[in-house]
């Protein structure tokens, strides 16, 4: 009985040692290269994003055309539309002034 316990203890120790070796191998050959690649990409790549186009300018130009044509009610409705949906537009202060 004592020898059987010793054999099981030895097998358990071998399983744990194999798991440690596998984790070390996986870390060195899979995880570490990925980390190096990620770090190199972060160093090399600087994303330069262009600001999004200001779609409110085109809408505002159409509203000004409507005002010049004398259609004030339609222009006023479209100004409210512009202020609601294009609230980040650069022409918003001027649109508020027209309302």
Res 47: pLDDT: 65
- Total domains in the chain come to 2
pLDDT tens column, 3-51: 888 889 899 999 999 999 999 999 999 999 988 988 888 877 666 678 8
| Whether pTM exceeds 0.75 | no
Using CA atoms, how far residue 97 sits from 26, 56, 76, 91, in Å, is 65, 15, 11, 10
Cβ proximity of 49 and 81 under 8 Å: no
Same domain, 22 and 64: no
Q: Which domain holds residue 15?
A: 1-47
pLDDT digits (tens, 9 = 90+) for 38-86: 888 887 766 667 888 888 899 999 999 999 998 889 999 999 999 998 8
85 closest CA partner among 50, 64, 60, 66? 60
Give 99's pLDDT tier (boundaries 50, 70, 90).
Answer: confident
- 89 and 63 belong to one structural domain: yes
Three-class SS state of 17: helix
Let me know whether 91 and 60 are in one domain. Answer: yes
């Amino acid at each position: 009985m004592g020898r059987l316990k010793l054999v099981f203890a030895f097998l358990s120790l071998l399983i744990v040692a194999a798991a440690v070796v596998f984790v070390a191998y996986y870390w060195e050959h899979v995880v570490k290269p990925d980390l190096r690649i990620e770090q190199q990409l972060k160093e090399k790549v600087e994303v330069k994003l262009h600001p999004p186009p200001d779609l409110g300018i085109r809408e505002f130009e159409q509203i000004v055309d409507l005002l010049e044509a004398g259609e004030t009610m339609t222009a006023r409705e479209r100004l409210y539309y512009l202020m609601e949906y294009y609230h980040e537009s650069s022409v918003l202060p001027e649109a508020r002034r027209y309302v």
